[in-house]
A and B are shown apart, each in its own frame.
Chain A
Amino acid sequence: MSKLCSMSEAVSSIKPGAHISLPGFAITRCAMAFAHELIRQQIKGLTLSQCVGAMDADLLVGAGLVNKVIYGGGSLDRFGRLANINRGIENGTLAADEYSSLSVAFRYLAGALGLPFIPIRSLMGSDLLNQLKNKESEDIASVDDPFTGKDWLVLKPLIPDVAVMHVQISDDEGNAVILGPKWDNCEQVKASERTIIIAEHIVSTEIIRQNPESTCIPGLFVSHVVEQPFGAYPTSVYREYDYDSDHMKLYVESSCSEEKFAQYLQEYVFTCKDHWQFLDKIGSQILSTLHADSLKGY
């Protein structure tokens, strides 16, 4: 069954207050087109989760749509900090449950496997754990190993309402292929109640059937499929396009204050009716310089 729809339709399936897990890692494969549309539709009160905080989460926080983040820290790599997220944490307007990469990945994994909890050897002795204890987090506990009697830190499964995945290739049922490292994406999909696929390219199911071992997201997890070339711009998509350093720098500069960021949102999100208009504003000349080299993948 085809689940193809417009970005606006897919985004309008998100309820205010939903918990969304996002696909980005710092400056790569971020759900930018999806985030822009969420902002245009002003769907608020969101909880966001991902192993490593990325530009998609920072943008949504900066737009005031987010109440809480669950993440393992993050940055825009050498471009800068996640300034909107950091500012929200510093001034107390954003709740943050902060873990390590693996502990968030393990929470998704427990959710994916339907386990009641998952033991982990990270976090112990750290202030990440103390901070969670101090706020009486109900997502951490300890149990005795029934086989050895050893005391274990255990984490509660993380089950987002919806995973949003930016992928290179999908068919119209949402059988999707992610090229390059997948970080926490497969566990996010399997832990979440449902998944929205944003694909650079839609291919026929016949193509998927010819290389089924490449399918890392089975369509059975997927509720909506959207085709959006350059949908992760200005972040990079392996084997598709590079990040746009100039726009990343502009974003970092804009995110250093709330006033400047409001101007950024006005210019690049609110005045564009969809992602195509945003891409028009960037210009085809710039976009064409970002195309990945087919040998190197970037």
Chain B
Amino acid sequence: MVIDYSPNELMAVAGARELRDSQVVAVGLGLPVVASFLAKKTHAPNMTILFELGVIDPEPVDCGVGLADPRVWYRAKVLSSFVDILGSVLHRGRVDVGFLGGLESDEYGNLNTTLLGDPKGQFKHMVGSGGANDIASNAKSTIIIMRHEARKLRKTISFITSPGYLHGNDSRKQAGLCGGPSRVITDKAIFGFDPDSKKIVLLSIHPGNTLEDVVNTMDFEPIIPEKIPFTEPPSAEQLQIIREEIDPGKMYLG
């Protein structure tokens, strides 16, 4: 049976599949929220979901406009503070996975959410870090979800807001950081990182796309292994949970 699904739904499902039961996950805005709730409602019921401002394990029934919206705090087990969540849980080393949305990434998984353009000349200032830099710096690993476009997957980004593997090899470690990105999930493919060079590696291509579709819409060349599988499509159950329980208003996946 062929099931219709959108690229956004596949991204959310692919993100959910990366999460394991009993993990502690710090979640950023947008698709990471859908992916995390999906994992918790399916294969990872004992996962702990954290929002930076002080929210643990909410069970929203209405879509919010962002983390500041009381709709996304509904039925939380804890409502506390930055120091409690980003400090005592994240900085203390208790976050297994940081789950971030990205505006721009380079081939080492560094993220830019601060400015577009030339920082010394004409630029457009954006949202900045919030807790993203803290999560990218302190989580044991991070998963990045973002759009697959050449202007977003760039050879060089104008500002490193949240560190990935910096300039590759051991430069992240040299800067004093552990962890680092494990996956980049786009609407065309899933990537990992080479254990030595820390460059981005193509892991799977979403059904309906070719290798050319993937590489021609990037501003850098990923490492391409000989065999590249297709990404497993969403199951009927996963789609039903997304559409009926997590995002019926299509706020995240519209």
- Chain A interfacial positions (CB closer than 8 Å to B): 25-28, 51-54, 71-75, 77-79, 81, 85-86, 89-90, 98-103, 105-106, 109, 120-128, 131, 151, 153, 180-187, 236, 238, 242-243, 292, 296-298
Contact = CB atoms under 8 A, between A and B. Distances in A.
B66 A181 contact: no
Interface string B27-67: 00100000000000000000000001111000001101111
Contacts of B66: 26-27, 75, 77-78
Contact of A124 (B79, B82, B137): B137
B122 to A, nearest CB: 8
Contacts of B171: 125
B131 A81 contact: no
Given A26-B67, A71-B128, A182-B79, 20 more contacts: A53-B128, A54-B68, A72-B128, A72-B131, A74-B130, A77-B66, A78-B66, A81-B126, A100-B132, A101-B52, A101-B82, A122-B138, A124-B175, A125-B172, A126-B162, A181-B80, A181-B81, A242-B70, A297-B70, A298-B71
Contacts of A98: 114, 128-129
B163 interface: yes
Nearest to B71: A298
Contacts of B131: 72, 100-102
Interface residues of B, number: 55
Interface stretch (B7-15, B86-94, B182-190, B198-206): B86-94
A236 B69 CA distance: 8
A126 B160 contact: yes
B124 A102 contact: no
A172 B78 CA distance: 28
A181 B55 contact: yes
Contacts of B79: 180-182
Contacts of A81: 126-127
Please indicate which of the listed interface residues A100, A186, A296 has the most CB atoms of chain B within 10 Å of its own CB. A100
Contact of B124 (A53, A86, A180, A181): A86
Given A81-B127, A180-B70, A102 B87 contact: yes
B38 to A, nearest CB: 20
A94 to B, nearest CB: 10
A101 B80 contact: no
6 tightest CB-CB pairs across the interface, nearest first? Answer: A73-B128, A77-B66, A125-B175, A181-B54, A26-B68, A100-B133
A187 B130 contact: no
B114 to A, nearest CB: 7
A121 B65 contact: no
A125 B134 contact: no
A85 B66 CA distance: 19
Contacts of B208: none
A108 to B, nearest CB: 9
Contact of B82 (A78, A183, A292, A298): A183
Given A27-B68, A86-B126, A123-B137, A183 B54 contact: yes
Contacts of A74: 127-128, 130
Contact of A128 (B80, B91, B114): B114
B176 A51 contact: no
Contacts of A105: 81-83, 86-87
B166 interface: yes
Contacts of B80: 181-182
A75 B90 contact: no
B159 interface: yes
15 contacts: A27-B68, A52-B53, A73-B127, A77-B68, A78-B251, A90-B123, A102-B131, A122-B91, A122-B138, A123-B137, A127-B160, A184-B82, A187-B81, A236-B68, A296-B74
Contacts of B126: 81, 86
B250 interface: no
B73 interface: yes
B163 A125 contact: yes
Given A26-B68, A125-B160, A181-B79, A151 B176 contact: yes
Nearest to A85: B125
B70 A120 contact: no
Contacts of B223: none
A100 B134 contact: yes
A183 B53 contact: yes
B86 A102 contact: yes
Contacts of B132: 100
B91 A101 contact: no
Nearest to B252: A78
A136 to B, nearest CB: 16
B113 interface: yes
B67 A127 contact: no
A72 B172 contact: no
B171 to A, nearest CB: 8
A227 to B, nearest CB: 22
Contact of B86 (A54, A79, A101): A101
